[in-house]
């Protein structure tokens, strides 16, 4: 539980221990006191209740003592938190992109990775960018979390202390596959990191097919895969000019996924639903994608056939 | 007294007004009948949302899809949240017991505006129906979570507008009830009942009513802004339209944090009535309890930022919101100490209402203390949006407000219906409920600390044990709920006739018939003594 895999973990865990200890003592103590009172003053034994109704001294006492205790708790919380906002100047900066429903780490020069690979014992600063809705980057082992809010330059930092693999999860609800917006942080030795970065393909530098760019801009790949994987919607692989069984209302029919169908599927996505997929998950993109852009998409889909 | 014997007076249940039968209820302006209308509608929605909650838990019994797909799951936790928060918990105690007992406890014949009171119920029902309809109509159940965070809520293709409108309408019901209670308390107290001779449940309703009146309009306008954003594409919150997503969160929590106190203050008020009665002893620290209610209502306005510690708000706003969060913990602590001291030295009769009331203290303490780790900045970073938060607020809202509601219904049931439920069965149901509750929610603390995020349809293997135990707890809990409901429904007509003062209470509601007459008091009483005086003055 208290692995302490980053420099920030100790401060957080100290606050945990302090607050939990005091809480535990109070909860147990007051519960035992309550049980004692219930037994000691049960009606079968005590017929006549005492008739007192207050004590200023006690009220002051149990205002002051809890006040002091909670101020200590606040202080521990603050002290553990303060270093999270004091990032060293030499921290390695990694642009971190959250989109529905994946993480992407941008190491510069077009080098993109879906897994966060970082060198051990080096301060890392993640600059959080959202491409659509709110997300939140959470690495439990490092005790760090910060929301990824569109339009805000949020960031977090930490220094990983041990090599190993750690979970990264999205903790701000972001829609259908929120639970699947999970990846890993791999902490490695400095030289291993350098080697990995060296060999990382600079996929970000190759300009996208103009049709793919349209798909990316509209977030289509959140639901439609390019590699044949079944997501929320049908895959784009081998889609163009294929036979599809669709449901119109409840009627089944077989259609050809030609230019015209693809246009209909983008503008009236709920009229003809490919069998096995749900209605109502996709909005019409009539106002967002122009007919010319659809033509680009179709050209791109053609490249996904027969690989 | 035999079981079939009936009370001899004409109670509000038999009273014939202008309308007969069901219309005598639907058009009644009697605060007691309206209280019961609320009770039945809220109980119905509670059961619906509890079953939705059970389905969520069953889905989470094992990793991977179990009984539903992700979209259904997201819709379920959203509608569970909307119904529980806006329809059950926020109106709950105030609308049911506040309506029924506020006028009686201050020696009035009705609330200040009886017709407005009935209108509030109709508005409530309209909003409630709309909220449930949102689950079925059009694009499918809303899937934004009850918090409606923008930009997701401005882009989701589901029925978000329905749900937002429902919450907006329910807000009006809340505001109108608040106004009604404030005026009632100011104007209709019995002669001689000064502010500090008023019982503590009315006091808690008074503090709550001010939050309802002052805070609810903010969420109303915020929800309208989201609708405007979706329909008219005006960029308030969505950065794609030039808006600010954090502005939404600020506006939302400026209401929704005080809303937590709308839920919990009346709950504190209910148990404050129960401890003196079952200990036969004046409440300990009357003044301290009044002041702490007002302090909670006041300071509660300034802590909303603790819902946003990880959103990127500035360093010093995090500092201040954390600091004030710890300050607002103090009045709650003071109340706990006073309740326990009220029992100390008493002659304690451990009947069902007191069982619920002491378990309220226990669960509320766990909820409160775990709230401290959420209020501290360092620990919040780790726990924010994990299942630790889910456990924390269920301990506060269900363990607090819910158990106080159960305490209240078992306390006032004989007064409301003139019949007594089966006390043995009620105690057993309490035991099942209490056990199920802890088995359900406690494991969520643990997996939360381990890093289990909330609102996850699927999870990693290391969280399996915790989720499994939790689901078992949910099943136990639902059994307890149905046992309790059965008891209350079955003995409504079959229970022994209840005397007018079965618990030997001293507040005004115990000085009139069970069930009360249409006008509560034949003669408005004159108040000469403080509210919790158990020994006759010599």
Ranges of residues in chain A with a pLDDT under 70 are 1-3, 307
Strand, helix or coil for residue B11: strand
Task: Look at residue A283 in the predicted model and tell me its pLDDT.
Answer: 77
Query: Is the CB of A158 inside 8 Å of chain B's CB atoms?
Result: no
Calculate the average pLDDT of chain B. Answer: 92
CA distance B355 to B373: 28
Task: Look at residue A307 in the predicted model and tell me its pLDDT.
Answer: 54
Average of per-residue pLDDT across B276-292: 94
pLDDT category at B6 given cuts 50, 70, 90 is low
To 5 degrees, how large is the angle CA B77–CA B210–CA B97?
Answer: 65
Compare all CA atoms of chain A with the CA of B157 and give the residue at the minimum distance.
Answer: A283
Compare all CA atoms of chain B with the CA of A51 and give the residue at the minimum distance.
Answer: B281
Query: Is the CB of A140 inside 8 Å of chain B's CB atoms?
Result: yes
The answer to whether the Cβ–Cβ distance between A78 and B377 falls below 8 Å is: yes
**A-to-B residue pairs, Cβ atoms closer than 8 angstroms:** 265
To 5 degrees, how large is the angle CA A140–CA A181–CA B243?
Answer: 100
The answer to whether the Cβ–Cβ distance between B70 and A179 falls below 8 Å is: yes
Contacts of A143 in chain B (CB under 8 A): 378, 381-382
The answer to whether the Cβ–Cβ distance between A51 and B282 falls below 8 Å is: yes
Peptide bond into B515 cis (omega under 30): yes
The answer to whether the Cβ–Cβ distance between A146 and B310 falls below 8 Å is: yes
CA distance A147 to A156: 9
Query: Is the CB of A78 inside 8 Å of chain B's CB atoms?
Result: yes
Does residue B445 contact residue B391 with C-beta atoms inside 8 Å? Answer: yes
**A49 closest CB neighbour out of B337, B347, B376:** B347
CA distance B86 to B78: 12
- The 10 Å Cβ neighbour count of residue B513 is 18
Compare all CA atoms of chain A with the CA of B337 and give the residue at the minimum distance.
Answer: A62
Task: Look at residue B395 in the predicted model and tell me its pLDDT.
Answer: 96
DSSP letter at A162? S
Domains, chain A, in order of start with CATH, read 9-85 (1.10.287), 92-199 (2.60.40.420), 210-303 (1.10.760.10)
Task: Look at residue B1 in the predicted model and tell me its pLDDT.
Answer: 42
* CA distance readout (Å), B103 to A63, B180, B294, B405: 33, 11, 21, 19
Q: What is the DSSP string of B332-348?
A: HHHHHHHHHHHHTTS-B
Contacts of B377 in chain A (CB under 8 A): 77-78, 80-81
Query: Is the CB of A283 inside 8 Å of chain B's CB atoms?
Result: yes
The answer to whether the Cβ–Cβ distance between A146 and B244 falls below 8 Å is: no
Q: Which of B147-156, B305-314, B456-465 has the lowest mean pLDDT?
A: B147-156
Query: Is the CB of A72 inside 8 Å of chain B's CB atoms?
Result: no
Buried b (16+ CB within 10 A) or exposed e, B437-471: bbbbbbbbbbbbbbbbbbbbbbbbeebeebbebbb
Does residue A300 contact residue B178 with C-beta atoms inside 8 Å? Answer: no
User: How far off is chain B from A198, nearest CA to CA, in Å?
Assistant: 32
Task: Look at residue A173 in the predicted model and tell me its pLDDT.
Answer: 94
- The 10 Å Cβ neighbour count of residue B233 is 12
Q: Which of B93, B227, B250 has the alpha carbon at shortest distance from B154?
A: B227
At the second CATH level, the architecture of B23-511 is Up-down Bundle (1.20)
Q: Which residues contact B100 (CB under 8 A, 6 or more apart)?
A: B31, B32, B35, B36, B412, B416
The answer to whether the Cβ–Cβ distance between A81 and B377 falls below 8 Å is: yes
Task: Look at residue B3 in the predicted model and tell me its pLDDT.
Answer: 46
CA distance B417 to B47: 21
Q: Which residues, numbered 36 to 95 in chain B, qualify as contacts with chain A under a Cβ-Cβ cut-off of 8 Å?
A: 69-71, 74
CA distance B76 to B52: 6
Query: Is the CB of B442 inside 8 Å of chain A's CB atoms?
Result: no
Q: Which residues, numbered 450 to 469 in chain B, qualify as contacts with chain A under a Cβ-Cβ cut-off of 8 Å?
A: 450-451, 453-460
Query: Is the CB of A28 inside 8 Å of chain B's CB atoms?
Result: no
The answer to whether the Cβ–Cβ distance between A73 and B326 falls below 8 Å is: yes
User: How far off is chain B from A128, nearest CA to CA, in Å?
Assistant: 10
Compare all CA atoms of chain B with the CA of A150 and give the residue at the minimum distance.
Answer: B239
DSSP letter at B524? -
CA distance A151 to B246: 10
Q: Which residues contact B182 (CB under 8 A, 6 or more apart)?
A: B206, B209, B210, B213
Per residue in A121-148, pLDDT (tens digit) is 999 999 999 988 999 999 999 999 999 9
* CA distance readout (Å), B526 to B105, B200, B286, B415, B532: 12, 18, 21, 21, 15
The answer to whether the Cβ–Cβ distance between B70 and A74 falls below 8 Å is: no
Strand, helix or coil for residue B356: helix
Q: What is the DSSP string of A65-104?
A: HHHHHHHHHHHHHHHHHGGGG---TTPEEEEEEEETTEEE
Q: Which of B226-235, B379-388, B417-426 has the lowest mean pLDDT?
A: B226-235
The answer to whether the Cβ–Cβ distance between B283 and A53 falls below 8 Å is: yes
Structural tokens at position B467: 């989720």
The answer to whether the Cβ–Cβ distance between B378 and A76 falls below 8 Å is: yes
Q: What percent of chain B has pLDDT over 70?
A: 98
- The 10 Å Cβ neighbour count of residue B35 is 23
Average of per-residue pLDDT across B308-316: 93
- Directed axis angle between helix A259-267 and helix A291-303, to 10°? 120
Query: Is the CB of A150 inside 8 Å of chain B's CB atoms?
Result: yes
Compare all CA atoms of chain B with the CA of A55 and give the residue at the minimum distance.
Answer: B285
The answer to whether the Cβ–Cβ distance between B330 and A66 falls below 8 Å is: yes
Q: What is the ipTM of this complex?
A: 0.91
Structural tokens at position B48: 């619906």
- Looking from the CA of B473 toward its CB, the CA atoms found within 13 Å total 19
* CA distance readout (Å), B46 to B25, B53, B259: 21, 10, 18
Q: Which of B125, B103, B113 has the alpha carbon at shortest distance from B12?
A: B103
Per residue in B194-215, pLDDT (tens digit) is 999 999 999 999 999 999 999 9
Look at strands B496-497 and B419-420 and give their pairing: antiparallel
Structural tokens at position A148: 């990824």
Q: Residue A147, by phi and psi: left (phi above 0), alpha (psi -120 to 50) or beta?
A: beta
Per residue in B490-512, pLDDT (tens digit) is 999 999 999 999 999 999 999 99
Contacts of A147 in chain B (CB under 8 A): 310-312
Rounded to 5 degrees, φ, ψ at B386 are -105, 175
The answer to whether the Cβ–Cβ distance between A46 and B347 falls below 8 Å is: yes
Q: Which residues, numbered 303 to 322 in chain B, qualify as contacts with chain A under a Cβ-Cβ cut-off of 8 Å?
A: 310-312, 315, 318-319, 322
Does residue A49 contact residue B534 with C-beta atoms inside 8 Å? Answer: yes
Residue tagged 């002290």 (tokens): A79
**B71 closest CB neighbour out of A84, A147, A281:** A281
Query: Is the CB of A97 inside 8 Å of chain B's CB atoms?
Result: no
- Directed axis angle between helix B70-82 and helix B160-187, to 10°? 10
CA distance B66 to B75: 16
User: How far off is chain B from A306, nearest CA to CA, in Å?
Assistant: 31
**B333 closest CB neighbour out of A43, A66, A134:** A66
Rounded to 5 degrees, φ, ψ at A92 are -80, 125
Q: Is the pLDDT of residue B5 over 90?
A: no
pLDDT category at B538 given cuts 50, 70, 90 is very low
Burial-class residue A1 by CB neighbours within 10 Å (0-12, 13-18, 19+): exposed
Contacts of A15 in chain B (CB under 8 A): 373, 376, 378-379
Per residue in B67-101, pLDDT (tens digit) is 998 888 998 999 999 999 999 999 999 999 999 99
Query: Is the CB of A32 inside 8 Å of chain B's CB atoms?
Result: no
CA distance B53 to B79: 9
Residue tagged 């509210």 (tokens): B531
Per residue in B7-63, pLDDT (tens digit) is 778 888 888 878 888 888 999 999 999 999 999 999 999 999 999 999 999 999 999
Q: Is the pLDDT of residue B537 over 80?
A: no
CA distance B337 to B330: 11
Q: Which residues contact B203 (CB under 8 A, 6 or more apart)?
A: B269, B289, B290, B293
Strand, helix or coil for residue A253: strand
Domain ranges of chain B: 23-511
Q: Which residues contact B149 (CB under 8 A, 6 or more apart)?
A: A133, A134, A172, A173, B245, B248, B249, B252
Does residue A51 contact residue B276 with C-beta atoms inside 8 Å? Answer: no
């Amino acid at each position: 539980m208290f692995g302490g895999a980053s420099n920030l973990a100790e401060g957080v865990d100290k606050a945990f221990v302090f607050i939990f200890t005091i809480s535990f003592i109070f909860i147990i103590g007051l519960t035992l006191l309550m049980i004692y009172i219930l037994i000691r003053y049960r009606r079968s034994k005590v017929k006549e209740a005492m008739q007192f109704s207050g004590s200023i001294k006690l009220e002051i006492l149990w205002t002051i003592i809890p006040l002091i205790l909670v101020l200590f708790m606040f202080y521990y919380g603050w002290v553990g938190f303060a270093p999270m906002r004091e990032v060293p100047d030499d921290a390695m900066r990694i642009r971190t992109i959250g989109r529905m429903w994946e993480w992407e780490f941008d190491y510069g020069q077009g080098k993109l990775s879906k897994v966060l690979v970082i060198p051990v014992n080096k301060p890392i600063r993640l600059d959080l960018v959202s491409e659509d809705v709110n997300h939140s980057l959470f690495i439990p082992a490092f005790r760090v979390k910060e929301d990824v809010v569109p339009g805000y330059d949020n960031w977090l930092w930490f220094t990983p202390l041990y090599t190993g693999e750690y979970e990264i999860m999205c903790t701000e609800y972001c829609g259908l596959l929120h639970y699947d917006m999970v990846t890993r942080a791999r902490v490695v030795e400095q030289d291993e990191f350098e080697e990995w970065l060296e060999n990382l393909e600079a996929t970000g530098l190759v300009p996208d097919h103009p049709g793919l760019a349209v798909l990316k801009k509209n977030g289509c790949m959140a639901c439609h895969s390019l590699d044949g994987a079944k997501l929320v919607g049908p895959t784009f692989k081998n889609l163009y000019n294929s036979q599809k069984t669709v449901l119109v209302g409840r009627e089944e029919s077989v259609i050809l996924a030609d230019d015209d169908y693809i246009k209909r599927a983008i503008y009236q996505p709920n009229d003809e639903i490919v069998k096995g997929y749900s209605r109502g998950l996709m909005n019409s993109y009539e106002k967002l994608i122009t007919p010319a852009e659809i033509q680009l998409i179709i050209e791109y889909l053609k490249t996904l056939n027969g690989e | 007294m035999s079981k079939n014997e009936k009370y001899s007076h004409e109670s509000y249940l038999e009273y014939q007004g202008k309308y007969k039968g069901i219309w005598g209820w639907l058009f009644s302006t009697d605060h007691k009948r309206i209280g019961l209308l609320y009770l039945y509608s809220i109980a119905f929605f509670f059961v619906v949302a509890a079953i939705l909650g059970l389905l969520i838990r069953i889905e989470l019994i094992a990793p991977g899809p179990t009984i539903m797909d992700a979209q259904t799951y997201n819709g379920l936790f959203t509608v569970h949240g909307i119904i529980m928060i806006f329809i059950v918990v926020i109106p709950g105690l105030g609308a049911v017991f506040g309506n029924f007992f506020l006028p009686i406890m201050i020696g009035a014949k009705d609330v200040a505006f009886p017709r407005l009171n009935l209108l509030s119920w109709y508005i409530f029902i309209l909003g409630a129906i709309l909220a449930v309809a949102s689950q079925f109509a059009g694009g499918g159940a809303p899937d934004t979570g009850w918090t409606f965070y923008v930009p997701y809520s401005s882009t989701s293709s589901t029925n978000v507008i329905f749900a937002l409108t429902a919450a907006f309408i329910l807000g009006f019901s809340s505001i109108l009830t608040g106004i009604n209670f404030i005026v009632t308390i100011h104007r209709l107290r019995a002669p001689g009942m000064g502010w500090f001779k008023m019982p503590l449940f009315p006091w808690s309703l008074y503090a709550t009513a001010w939050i309802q009146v002052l805070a609810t309009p903010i969420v109303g306008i915020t929800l309208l802004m989201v609708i405007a954003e979706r329909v008219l594409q005006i960029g308030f919150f969505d950065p794609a339209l030039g808006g600010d997503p954090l502005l939404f969160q600020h506006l939302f929590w400026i209401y929704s944090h005080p809303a937590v106190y709308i839920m919990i203050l009346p709950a504190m008020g209910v148990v404050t009535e129960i401890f003196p009665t079952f200990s036969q002893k004046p409440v300990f620290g009357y003044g301290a309890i009044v002041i702490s209610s007002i302090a909670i209502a006041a300071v509660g306005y300034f802590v909303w930022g603790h819902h946003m510690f990880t959103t990127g708000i500035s360093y010093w706003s995090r500092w201040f919101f954390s600091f004030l969060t710890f300050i607002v913990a103090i009045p709650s602590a003071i109340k706990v100490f006073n309740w326990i001291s009220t029992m100390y030295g008493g002659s304690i009769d451990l009947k069902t209402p007191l069982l619920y009331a002491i378990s309220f203290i226990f669960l509320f303490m766990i909820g409160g203390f775990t709230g401290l780790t959420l209020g501290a900045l360092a620990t919040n970073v780790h726990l924010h949006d994990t299942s630790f938060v889910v456990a924390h607020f269920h301990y506060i809202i269900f363990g607090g407000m819910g158990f106080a509601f159960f305490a209240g219904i078992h306390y006032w049931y004989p007064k409301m219906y003139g019949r007594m439920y089966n006390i043995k069965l009620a105690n057993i149901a309490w035991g099942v409920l209490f056990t199920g509750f802890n088995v359900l929610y406690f494991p969520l603390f643990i997996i939360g600390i381990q890093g289990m995020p909330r609102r996850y349809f699927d999870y990693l293997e290391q969280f399996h044990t915790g989720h499994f135990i939790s689901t078992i707890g949910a099943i136990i809990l639902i059994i307890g709920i149905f046992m309790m409901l059965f008891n209350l429904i079955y003995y409504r007509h079959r229970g022994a006739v209840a005397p007018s003062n079965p618990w030997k209470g001293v507040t005004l509601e115990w000085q009139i018939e069970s069930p009360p007459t249409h006008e509560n008091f034949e003669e408005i009483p004159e108040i000469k003594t403080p509210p919790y005086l158990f020994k006759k003055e010599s």
